[in-house]
């Protein structure tokens, strides 16, 4: 059962601050729209919420959909603007929830990214539909781009500070791997082992191992891969050995991420789980996300994942008139899309 507390529960400030900004920005934007933009123009530009768009990458959105989404309910607040309120609510839950916090942070980050994306699409629509000539370039930037600064910054900071995006420094936050339980751990990185484990240490104790285990696993990586065993840096299992087949199952259930450190038995140093053949897909998450963002309407993201049938379907329907492309983009951003072999993206 989901539990809540009235104060943040040992939240990392690097994550809590963007969440608080998202909460404030979302609720102020919603109130301003409901009151039909009182106050100086700069407030209306910054606290924009989300603009209505009528095309997704030059593909028109059906009129019946826009009529439903953009019909004002209170002031200038319509169903479409509930996205802003949803971002504020999930960001708040990401701060105060005592369980499922990582899920709320992930959803808030995704909604912030969607806000920034929609504002950018609105800018493209203004520039390509002649609206920039009517309003002027400065007002076009003011109406569209300024409104994406806050949600874009929130999404970027959350992605970096949760470890979803690696910075050039190569250091992860204490909560990495992102969105995984850290209770009872100090947050310190795993220390490489300098010698092989003692005889009998944790061997044969994996709950996944035993006779017939390999027949229940869909992952195959070549000859004799099941004989390789690894220690994994996850709470409560650091002294147990897992086979590659078990690591593949753990990757599918998100028990481990591509950045999770694993160490092969009899080796003296750990490596990222994504470097172990057969555990994660050879396709990259960031590459898939970029292809979906820029070329999703042509099905290039699905072709890249090896899903030729879905790629052809998206190409022939122009991304389902943009709706399919948007859904795919959200699913990929949430890491809910696998490659043609059913393996999670690295």
Query: Binning pLDDT at 50, 70 and 90, where does residue 38 land?
Result: low
Provide mean pLDDT across the span 82-86.
86
Examine the pLDDT at 315 and tell me if it is beyond 60: yes
Q: Is the pLDDT of residue 313 over 70?
A: yes
Paired with 243 in beta bridges are 229
Regarding predicted confidence, which is higher, 174 or 55? 55
CA atoms within 13 A on the CB side of 5: 13
Q: Report pLDDT for 175.
A: 39
Task: Report the pLDDT averaged over residues 323-339.
Answer: 84
pLDDT at 280: 92
Q: What is the pLDDT of residue 145?
A: 84
* Full-model pTM: 0.50
Model confidence pLDDT, tens digit, residues 91-135: 888 888 767 788 888 888 888 888 888 888 888 888 888 777 777
Q: Which residue has the higher pLDDT, 20 or 165?
A: 20
Q: Is 24 helix (H, G, I), strand (E, B) or coil?
A: helix
Indicate the angle between helix axes 82-96 and 101-128, nearest 10 degrees. 150
pLDDT attached to residue 305: 92
Q: Give the model's pLDDT for residue 10.
A: 55
Q: Considering the chain, what is the average pLDDT of its residues?
A: 75
- How far apart (Å, rounded) are the C-alpha atoms in residues 73 and 77? 6
Q: Please state the rounded mean pLDDT for residues 293-321.
A: 83
pLDDT of residue 140: 82
Q: What is the mean pLDDT of residues 159-174?
A: 59
* More confidently predicted of 165 and 111: 111
Residue 26 makes CB contacts below 8 A (sequence gap 6+) with 49, 84, 85, 87, 88, 89, 91
How far apart, in whole angstroms, are the C-alpha atoms of residue 192 and residue 260?
Answer: 13
Q: How confident is the model at residue 30 (pLDDT cuts 50, 70, 90)?
A: confident
Say if residue 172's pLDDT is above 60. no
Residue 165 is predicted with a pLDDT of 65
Q: Is the pLDDT of residue 168 over 50?
A: no
Residue 189 has pLDDT above 80, yes or no: no
Q: Which pLDDT score is estimated for 52?
A: 85
Q: What is the pLDDT of residue 184?
A: 40
Q: pLDDT class for 205, splitting at 50, 70, 90? A: very low
What's the average model confidence in pLDDT over 291-300? 82
Least confident of 14-23, 63-72, 192-201, 203-212: 203-212
Between the alpha carbon of residue 25 and those of residues 18, 36, 83, the distances in Å are 10, 16, 12
What is the Cα–Cα distance from 150 to 49, expressed in whole angstroms? 10
Phi-psi region of 19 (alpha: psi -120 to 50; beta: other; left: phi over 0): alpha
Residue 113: its pLDDT value, please? 87
Q: Is residue 284 scored above 70 in pLDDT?
A: yes
- C-beta of residue 5 within 8 angstroms of C-beta of residue 96: yes
DSSP strand pairing (229-232 vs 241-243)? antiparallel
Phi then psi dihedrals of residue 264, to 5 deg: -70, 140
pLDDT of residue 170: 42
């Amino acid at each position: 059962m989901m539990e809540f507390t009235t104060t943040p529960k040992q939240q990392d400030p690097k994550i809590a601050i963007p969440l608080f900004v998202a909460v404030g920005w979302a609720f102020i934007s919603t109130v301003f729209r409901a009151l039909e933009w009182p106050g100086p123009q700069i407030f209306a530009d910054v606290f924009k919420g989300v603009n209505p768009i009528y095309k997704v990458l030059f593909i028109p959105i059906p009129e019946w959909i826009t009529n439903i989404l953009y019909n004002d309910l209170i002031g200038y607040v319509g169903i479409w603007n509930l996205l802003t309120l949803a971002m504020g609510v999930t960001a708040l839950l990401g701060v105060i929830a005592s369980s499922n916090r990582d899920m709320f942070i992930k959803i808030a980050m995704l909604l912030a990214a969607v806000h920034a994306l929609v504002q950018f699409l609105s800018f493209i629509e203004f520039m390509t539909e002649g609206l920039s000539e009517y309003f002027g370039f400065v007002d076009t930037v003011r109406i569209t781009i300024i409104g994406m600064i806050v949600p874009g910054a929130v999404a970027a900071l959350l992605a970096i500070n949760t470890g979803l995006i690696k910075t050039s420094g190569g250091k992860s936050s204490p909560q990495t791997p992102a969105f995984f339980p850290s209770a009872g751990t100090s947050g310190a990185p795993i220390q490489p082992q300098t010698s092989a484990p003692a005889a009998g240490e944790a061997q044969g104790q994996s709950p996944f191992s035993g006779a017939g285990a390999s027949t229940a696993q869909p992952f195959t990586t070549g000859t004799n891969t099941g004989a390789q065993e690894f220690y994994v840096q996850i709470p409560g299992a650091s002294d147990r050995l897992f086979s590659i087949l078990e690591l593949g199952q753990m990757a599918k259930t998100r028990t481990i991420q591509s950045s999770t450190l694993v160490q092969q038995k009899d080796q003296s140093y750990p490596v990222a789980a994504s470097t172990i053949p057969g555990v994660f897909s050879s396709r990259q998450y960031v590459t898939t996300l970029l292809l979906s963002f820029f070329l999703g309407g042509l099905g290039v993201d699905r072709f890249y994942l090896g899903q030729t049938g879905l790629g052809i379907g998206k190409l022939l329907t122009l991304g389902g008139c943009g709706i399919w492309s948007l859904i795919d983009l959200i699913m990929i951003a949430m890491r809910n899309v696998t490659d043609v072999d059913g393996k999670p993206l690295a």
